[in-house]
């Protein structure tokens, strides 16, 4: 049996929500939704479905005409894998893994670093807030909650770097 990674579940989850999808549709769907939380390289949205189809979690159909795109849907096993994952609360812990913080750790000057990071995070926060205002109504509960987490952490980053910026 293959090992299912977060990317596997992203693919399964997106296909579940869409009913069916080609890799390209996965790409656009990912960019518009989970992308902020966990982005995936587009090439992986071609290779990962192949893996999942091999493992019997996806059903693959080629279009008859034109580009003969691959269209994927969940098999019963695939739906089951997704459900099982959702029912098992993650025990994993996420490290911050922030490049800027890493530089700080090893002795970078806080001032310039803070200035740069502040800009990044302010822009990101603005994007999130716009997203919430404009697309909030169309979101699922889960998406909404996730976005709130994103906003909260952005606010925290801004507080943090702002504090370091006045040196």
Partner DNA sequence: GGGTACATGTAATCAGTTACATGATTTA
Partner DNA sequence: TAAATCATGTAACTGATTACATGTACCC
Residue in 55, 100, 122, 132 binding its own copies, rule: CB under 8 A: 100
Task: Determine, following the binding rule CB under 8 A, whether residue 106 of this chain makes contact with its own copies.
Answer: yes
Query: Contact region for DNA (CB under 7 A) — 38-46, 79-87, 119-127, 148-156?
Result: 38-46
Q: Which of 43, 149 has the CB closer to its own copies? A: 149
Task: Determine, following the binding rule CB under 8 A, whether residue 85 of this chain makes contact with its own copies.
Answer: yes
Q: Two tokens at 32?
A: 């518009």
Q: Two tokens at 3?
A: 């090992």
Q: Which ranges constitute the DSSP H helices of the chain? A: 6-18, 23-32, 44-54, 76-87, 99-105, 110-135, 141-165
Task: Determine, following the binding rule CB under 8 A, whether residue 131 of this chain makes contact with its own copies.
Answer: no
CA 138 → CA 24, 68, 135, 143, distances in Å? 22, 32, 6, 10
- Give residues in contact with its own copies (CB under 8 A): 6, 9-10, 13, 16-17, 33-34, 36-39, 82, 85-87, 89-110, 112-113, 115-117, 120, 124, 140-143, 145-146, 148-150, 152-153, 156, 159-160, 164
């Amino acid at each position: 049996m293959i090992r299912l990674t977060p990317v596997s579940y992203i693919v399964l989850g997106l296909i579940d929500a869409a009913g069916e999808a080609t890799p390209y549709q996965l790409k656009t769907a990912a960019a518009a939704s989970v992308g902020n939380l966990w982005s995936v390289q587009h090439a992986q949205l071609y290779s990962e479905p192949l893996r999942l189809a091999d493992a019997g979690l996806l059903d693959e159909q080629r279009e008859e005409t034109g580009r003969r795109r691959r269209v994927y849907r969940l098999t019963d096993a695939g739906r089951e894998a997704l459900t099982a994952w959702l029912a098992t609360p993650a025990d994993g812990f996420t490290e911050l893994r922030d490049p800027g913080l890493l530089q700080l750790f090893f002795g970078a000057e806080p001032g310039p670093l803070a200035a740069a990071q502040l800009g990044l995070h302010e822009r990101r926060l603005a994007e999130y807030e716009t997203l919430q205002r404009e697309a909030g109504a169309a979101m699922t509960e889960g998406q909404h909650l996730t976005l709130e987490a994103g906003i909260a952490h952005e606010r925290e980053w801004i507080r943090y770097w702002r504090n370091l910026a006045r040196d």
